[in-house]
Amino acid sequence: MFQSLLVANRGEIAVRVIRTARRMGIRTVAVYSDADVGALHVEVADEALRIGPGPVAESYLNQAALLSAIADSGAQAVHPGYGFLSENPGFATAVGEAGTTFVGPSPEAIRAMGSKIDAKRLVASAGTPVVPGYDGADQSPKGLAEHASRIGYPLLIKASMGGGGRGMRIVSERGDFDAALAAAKREAAASFGDDTVLLERYLTAPKHIEIQILADNAGRTLSLFERDCSVQRRHQKVIEEAPAPGMDPPTRRAMGEAAVSAARAVGYVGAGTVEFVTESGEFYFLEMNTRLQVEHPVTEAVTGLDVVEWQLRIAAGESLSFDQDDLGLDGHAVEARIYAENARRDFLPSTGMLHWVSFPGDVRVDSGVRSGSAVSAHYDPMMAKVVAHGVDRQQAVARLRGALREIEIAGAAHNVAWLANVLDHPAFVAGSYTTGTVEESADMLVPKPDPHAVAIAAVATVLKRRRRDPWSLGDAFQANLPHEQTLRVGRGPERFDVRIVADEVGFRVYGPDGEVRLEAPALAEDGFFRATANGQLVGARTVLLDGHAFVMRNGGTERIDFVTSDAGAFAEVVEAGGRVLAPMPGQVVSVAVSEGDRVRPGDVLMVVEAMKMEHEVRAPGPGTVTAVRFAPGERVEEGVELVGLDDDKGPSAS
């Protein structure tokens, strides 16, 4: 076995790999960019080496910097995690040429399966069914448009390299094809360095099923059964479970055999995943991921295997110690991905300091963050994965639902409450969901505002001020007398006045959610707030900072801003001035308008790339462009003016 391992990745996957390696007695080496100086994966490793500035091209995608770190550390093996260079055959080759073991398949296998086009051709020649489409050499817009017309609409444009939903576009009709193709190619080039795409018939109600495989150097290739990854938003998996609901043994066996055949066709060694789409009882090969998958923990939970441990053992030359007949399914497991994104703002990525992070202790949590971590605009917004295991699906889902309600995150916006809503969706409860369920139910899944959050934040702030300096507040509160105070409060884009009236038993708060009466309120030193709210006992973790508060209850987090009268007036002037603001920090990809142009509501003004995804900034209403502040390639910070308009509405992005 290796004595030392360098993990060429970051975040939760780096932490997860390091923990298994250390359990096996292997010295671990982390790498980090300037944006990750204080990251969790840096702390848990035995050694950490800097590889460059924050942007991925200058750090985690910088092969020269990584190879230098490998040499400096003396690591005997390199684990690539997933994403970044994990499926780059050139990097795998360079690692091997440096005399270090790459923990993964051969460069030839990566190359064969790394291209969706080549992989489809390979498995089709072996008799595996594939989705009808086009994967030829003609990449001209005219040629691709002609092939699209032959395939028919709706269809899917898909980047040949990479994954994670990047470089994918669903096109419903011919008129949308050219713009979708340009965006898919641009995103593919930025994410994977290759803008080659393929076209596929778009299945309207499919399931996304994948098979985990393990293969050793002795020629033994095994299926670790399937995962259902059909809960997807914009082609990005968000909830996965194993085994797949409703999967019958004959289909499980047939898909497992097809996955094993695909792996054997390229002499695959290590852990990998073969993905399929299923519809109406038929299954079609989708792609093969020649790396560890984000959702591998659900397979580990139901098989009892540590997939990372077996990756390391196989890379070290060991053979699998079990056969296909030795494997079985133990209960059910469900995983939810925790992202730094704002579900109420069309899932825009969120960045910033995490002032408080708390995860439940009775389920598996693979996390790359903690209190004090920073969420950077340079990287994917996934912060953690929460995995629940039970004797059956009902118990596993119930445990995950309970775990999500216990999560507390203050700082960047997150999707925990949204995930809980997905678990309660009738189609998910029944196990009948498809890849389209989330998008079709988008409006009903968006979390509603917590009706007590504003009142809790306001009263917690008052209690904290009184405890800190009860005699010199000058806030109009007087002992033993009815008294009141008015605060200017912001919740998202809204601004409103909140009136707080105190009496001998507590407070009455009048705000956007009506009257909320908080009796016997108490604020603990750790920020936990307790009270009786309109006769109901409520508790919430509160993080109170200068100018705003975070209220965490039942997995959700509400950010409440306290603004002075002047600040509130200024915010209204900004909105009235017709300024379209950057919804997040990022880089301008393209500009669609010029000064003097007339625009209609919904017209695309700019495209901003952040966290590896493109976001269209659209006109909030009709008007004339009065200014264009940035050009393609320039970086922008959240809240800066992108475009001036003569209307009086705020920004919109999708």
The DSSP output letter for 234 is T
- Check if the beta carbon of residue 117 is closer than 8 Å to that of residue 147: no
d(CA 379, CA 55): 8
Task: Give the CA radius of gyration of the chain.
Answer: 26
Question: What's the Cα-to-Cα distance from 243 to each of 227, 228, 377, 404, 424, rounded to whole Å?
Answer: 5, 7, 35, 21, 19
Q: How many CA atoms lie within 13 A of 375 on its CB side?
A: 32
Q: How many CA atoms lie within 13 A of 339 on its CB side?
A: 23
Reported in sequence order, the residue ranges of 8-115 that DSSP labels E, i.e. its strands, are 27-33, 47-52, 77-79, 101-102
Q: How far is CA 218 from the centre of its chain?
A: 37
- Check if the beta carbon of residue 518 is closer than 8 Å to that of residue 509: yes
The DSSP secondary structure of 258-306, one letter per residue, reads HHHHHHHHTT--EEEEEEEEEETTEEEEEEEE-S--TTHHHHHHHH---
d(CA 464, CA 60): 43
Residues labelled as active-site residues: 291
Q: At 565, which amino acid appears?
A: S
d(CA 16, CA 40): 11
